[in-house]
Structure 1
Amino acid sequence: MPEIGSLGELTDLLDGRTGVYVRWSRGPDIDLGTPGSRDDLTGIALPGLSANAMDVEPWWRDRPLRLWAARRLYDYAHLPRVKDRRVRPWVLHGTVAGRGPDNEPLVTDVQPLGWVGAGVIEEAEQEIKRQRGRWGPLNRTPVSDPGPQSRRQWS
């Protein structure tokens, strides 16, 4: 599978296309041998591969595609550190078969398009650092139970 070597290359791949996703895993050789992903919390088999949409949403309007692509990569760049160091991003084309427990697309009819090179992730991180406001990855760190006295009481 080819490697996408720059954020510009990724942007060119996305320009004018729909149905493109990024998946963080050990790769299509492993993923395509299984019917779908599994929910980490419950172990339930899902009807497709968990992925993140790279298609630009209408609300993004005329903002740069480069920034969109950077944001989509940056949001999950923590996964190799928290899941498995062999996890890396790859881009694919596919069809949404449903939604996972985090409302992520579950994709079938997968056609791998390319690995995302490490340099692309670095470029994405630099692109995000240049932005104003508070941007951060979607890193979920387990929180220990603080006990009943500090739990929110719902009325």
Structure 2
Amino acid sequence: MRTVRTLAELAELTSSGEAPYLRYSPGPDSDAHHSSNDHESGLTMPGVSVNPLAAPGWWTLPLEDWLARRVCQYLRELDEGARPWLLSGRQVDFGPDNEPLVVDIRPVAWIAPELLDEARERYQSRLNAGAATHRDR
């Protein structure tokens, strides 16, 4: 499987539709043998949970800013032994956090450590990373 090294490369794969999803896990070989589990209920879900990469229609900043945000959303999973990789597949349902669940997975590429570094830097420098969505008054 190839490796994507920059946000520009990731933007190209996302825009073309070749890699619509990002996943943090041990990798495609491990994920081929089981679906994701809902940790709170203990239920097995009907597919693998993924992070969609396509920017919504309201997003008017560069796609690379959106992708940096998406890549950084689950970086904590690196500490649990997961690796980030790109895939396509057929969406069959939603998980408990409204994330897509996909089957018929087609691995596309690994995400290189230098892309993670670029995403962290861009997320921190260009967006208000970690800002609260709303505050109750």
**Structures share fold, TM-score greater than 0.5:** yes
User: Mapping of 1:120-135 within 5 angstroms?
Assistant: 120-133=115-128, 135=129
Deviations 1:90-149 (A, max 9, x none): 00011211111111111112111001111111100000111253x139xxxxxxxxxxxx
Structure 2, gaps ≥5 residues long: 132-137
2:9 aligned with 1:9: yes
Q: 2:63 & 2:2 partners in 1: Cα distance?
A: 21
- Alpha carbon RMSD of aligned pairs, Å? 1.7
Q: Percent identity?
A: 36
Q: 1:70 & 1:87 partners in 2: Cα distance?
A: 18
**Contact 2:13 2:19 survives alignment (8 Å):** no
Q: 1:74 & 1:19 partners in 2: Cα distance?
A: 17
Letter in 2 for 1:136: G
TM-score by length of 1: 0.79
**Contact 1:19 1:94 survives alignment (8 Å):** no
The count of residues paired between Structure 1 and Structure 2 equals 131
The equivalent residue for 1:136 is 130
The equivalent residue for 1:73 is 71
**Contact 1:19 1:55 survives alignment (8 Å):** no
The equivalent residue for 2:111 is 116
Q: 2:130 & 2:74 partners in 1: Cα distance?
A: 10
User: Mapping of 1:61-100 within 5 angstroms?
Assistant: 62-81=60-79, 84=80, 86-100=81-95
Structure 1, gaps ≥5 residues long: 138-155
Q: Secondary structure at the match of 2:98?
A: coil
Deviation (angstroms), 1:18: 7.1
Deviation (angstroms), 1:46: 0.2
Which structure 1 residue ranges, 4+ long, deviate > 3 Å from structure 2? none
**Contact 1:20 1:55 survives alignment (8 Å):** yes
Q: 1:105 & 1:136 partners in 2: Cα distance?
A: 23
TM-score by length of 2: 0.88
